[in-house]
């Protein structure tokens, strides 16, 4: 048995095989075995039980996806990490790879430094998955004792993240509170809300496999390479928790937390309702955290500017309410929230009244009349006002 993790490299191009093999061997951390065809790769995989399989998409007349499918169905090898090496960079090709069970994808030719960085990240994920698997019996006992409740497991994972990622525990708490409030405002079923809140608390778990020198850098000093590495954390998060049965749906939400509603996000370029609602909520969580050094007013403006491009329009409207009335406890002093249907003539608005489509109906400090309320309710029937109205208590 090899003391070092085994990497199985599969490529029918002899020059490419030698080049990648030399890069990996120069690292000195892995035992590399090579195959040029699928039958040979299957034999070596069963002989060496690799932690990671690097396979080219095109293997003569065969497809590397055939080997991926075989690995995922193998009773002993299905947990191996898989990276696809190929010259093809089309989105459709990548999606086919991910659907077949590919964990990561790199297009040839690639810089050796980036390649090795991603190999290390996959190996850290594999190590964490193996540890979770080894602890499976204990987790099962804990789950039984807790009545299948995930709160203790979530707290454990949050603590793991906070040990690696600066200030992650505080962000996890704020993200959970925001997600819980959003789910309440959207009247989501309890089971869906619980999953979204768990995902919010664990949204940064993918960062535990990113190198310390990147994690601890000031965001303003990130290089292009640093940004590319950090952009991978949603995928890493999916890889880490997606194989835990109780957290499979959470992993799905983590994977898509960087998608934009206009299709410009990552990793799968989903659009609008193709993106899970929980992931759309997490997209705003991350945007708020990225702007943490700014004042709440500026954050509200920048989130509003991303309406219907980066962010779901409905969620933008609710987020503006949250940042105004919940995140800033001082603002609500001397004001109260009122359902739109309960507005009365003589009330004075404490905040702009805006529809879910972003149309401002009335500005703050407007004294309501009966005619205004009729027009508000008429508009509400076609373009709902999903936020509460806020009015001054003594005006």
pTM of the entire predicted model? 0.67
For 206-226, how does the pLDDT look when each residue is reduced to its tens digit (9 = 90+)? 998 888 888 888 888 989 888
For 216-264, how does the pLDDT look when each residue is reduced to its tens digit (9 = 90+)? 888 889 898 888 889 999 999 998 888 777 788 999 999 999 999 999 9
Position 146 pLDDT exceeds 60: no
Domains in the chain and their CATH numbers? 6-131 (3.40.50.2300), 145-325 (1.10.3210.10), 334-392 (3.90.105)
More confident of the two residues 139 and 274: 274
Position 147 pLDDT exceeds 50: no
Residue 329 pLDDT: 86
For 6-20, how does the pLDDT look when each residue is reduced to its tens digit (9 = 90+)? 999 999 889 889 999
Per the CB < 8 A criterion, the answer to whether 311 and 354 are in contact is no
- Helix pair angle (190-201, 277-290), 10° resolution: 30
Residue 229: which residues within 8 A CB-CB, separation 6 or more?
117, 121, 210, 211, 214
Residue 143 pLDDT: 54
Q: Is the peptide bond before 391 cis (omega within 30 degrees of 0)?
A: no
Residue 1 pLDDT: 42
Ramachandran bin of 359, using left for φ above 0, alpha for ψ from -120 to 50, beta for the remaining angles: beta
Residue 244 pLDDT: 78
């Amino acid at each position: 048995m090899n003391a070092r993790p085994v990497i199985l490299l599969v490529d029918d191009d002899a020059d490419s095989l030698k080049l990648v093999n030399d890069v990996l061997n120069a690292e000195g951390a892995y035992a590399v075995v090579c195959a040029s065809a699928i039958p040979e790769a299957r034999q070596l995989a069963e002989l060496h039980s690799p932690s990671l399989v690097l396979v080219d998409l095109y293997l003569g007349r065969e497809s590397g996806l055939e080997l991926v499918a075989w690995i995922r169905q193998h009773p002993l090898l299905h947990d191996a990490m898989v990276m696809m090496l190929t010259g093809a960079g089309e989105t459709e090709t990548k999606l086919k790879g991910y659907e077949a069970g590919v964990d990561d994808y790199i297009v040839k030719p690639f810089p050796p430094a980036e390649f090795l960085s991603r190999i290390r990240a996959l190996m850290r994920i594999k190590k964490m998955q193996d540890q979770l698997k080894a602890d499976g019996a204990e987790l099962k006992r804990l789950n039984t004792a807790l009545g299948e409740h995930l709160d203790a497991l979530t707290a454990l994972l949050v603590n793991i993240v906070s040990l690696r990622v600066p200030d992650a525990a505080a962000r996890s708490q704020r993200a959970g509170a925001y997600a819980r409030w959003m789910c309440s405002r959207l009247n989501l079923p309890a089971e869906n809300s619980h999953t979204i809140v768990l995902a919010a608390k664990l949204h940064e778990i993918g960062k535990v496999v990113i190198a310390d020198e990147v994690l601890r850098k000031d965001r303003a000093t990130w290089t292009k390479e640093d940004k590319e590495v950090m952009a991978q954390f949603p995928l890493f998060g999916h890889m880490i928790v997606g194989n835990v049965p109780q957290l499979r749906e959470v992993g799905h939400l983590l994977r898509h937390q960087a998608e934009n509603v206009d299709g410009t996000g990552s990793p799968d370029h989903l659009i609008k309702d193709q993106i899970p609602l929980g992931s759309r909520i997490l997209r705003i969580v991350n945007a708020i955290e990225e702007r943490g050094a700014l004042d709440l007013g500026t954050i509200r403006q920048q989130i509003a500017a991303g309406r219907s491009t980066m962010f779901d329009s409905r969620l933008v409207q609710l987020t503006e309410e949250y940042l105004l009335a919940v995140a800033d406890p001082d603002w609500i002093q001397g004001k109260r929230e009122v359902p739109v249907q309960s507005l009365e003539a003589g009330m004075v608005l404490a905040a702009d009244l805006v529809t879910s489509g972003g149309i401002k109906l009335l500005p703050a400090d407007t004294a309501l009349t009966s005619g205004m309320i009729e027009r508000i309710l008429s508009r509400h029937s076609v373009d709902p006002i999903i936020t509460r109205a806020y009015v001054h208590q003594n005006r």
